[in-house]
Amino acid sequence: MSNSERLDKVLSNLGYGSRTEIKRDISKGKVMVNGNICKDPSTKISFSDTIQHYDEVLIRKEHYYFMMNKAPDCITATEDPREKTVMDYLNERHKNMNLFPVGRLDKETEGLLIFTTNGKFAHHYTSPKHLIDKEYYVEVEGILSDSDVQAFREGVILDDGYKTLPGKLILFGQKDESSPTQGSDLIKEDLVIKEKKDLQQTSINLLNLDQDINILINSSKISYAKVIIREGKYRQIRRMFQALGKHVIYLRREKMGTVVLDPNLQVGSYRELTEVEVEELISG
């Protein structure tokens, strides 16, 4: 963005309407520049000028940066003919500011997503050569162990044969999701009944019964952990756990580089980054 631009273009870039709508507001005397009504849409505006649109005083910046707590019902895209996108959570003014998401999150994943108008920054920040730590809170079906921690530390081979860069898996604990009345004997009894029915149709070998019981018992537990990775492959965390025989049931990104998800942001809400957050983001 140049140092000085037309008044109508500045207001349009700030999302206050189309050039036609803004020219109409200007002609009606609804726009002030440095305390004076301005009716000329071609008036050159610099960063030192103060603009007032109706009763709102505008702060003009070279670029804008926001954080969103992404909801799990939308895809990370600027538009899509079939799916709800993260842009649908922006208000009309911010939609008109040419904001776009930096990087992406899977549809089912919640948490931190950065938006900006700075294409050069976004390209650099998401470049494979620019590795930044991304932290996630994850809930996994099954029991996580030290062997899983070691696998993350060494890098996990995904379903396409790609070996991820080393990451960190920090275990928080587990919770038993089975009801108090479900003991191993009851599980075994129910499974035997199921196995006998299956045997009549598929001749399943009952020698695998104990292994099946262990899988069933383990899958009734939920493990909680933090994951830190430096890449952003397609559905990477889910695929890493899948490669280890685990299933992710909840995933939330909490940090990206220096930017930490605001704990006060409700799912689906967003806010502009503070000056300090922007400085740390750009310098990082």
Residue pointed to by tokens 């922006």 = 90
Measured CA to CA, the distance from residue 108 to residue 117 in angstroms comes to 25
Phi first, then psi, for residue 50 (nearest 5°) are: -105, 125
Active site residue 106: yes
Q: Considering 25, 73, 106, 148, which one is annotated as catalytic? A: 106
What is the chain's percent helix, strand, coil content, to nearest 5? 30, 25, 40
- Three-class secondary structure of residue 260 per DSSP: strand
Q: What does the block give as tokens for 14?
A: 């700030």
Q: What does the block give as tokens for 246?
A: 């685990």
Residues 45 and 3: beta-carbon distance below 8 Å: no
- Three-class secondary structure of residue 182 per DSSP: coil
Task: Supply the DSSP symbol for 206.
Answer: G
Phi first, then psi, for residue 40 (nearest 5°) are: -110, 105
Task: Please list the active-site residues.
Answer: 106
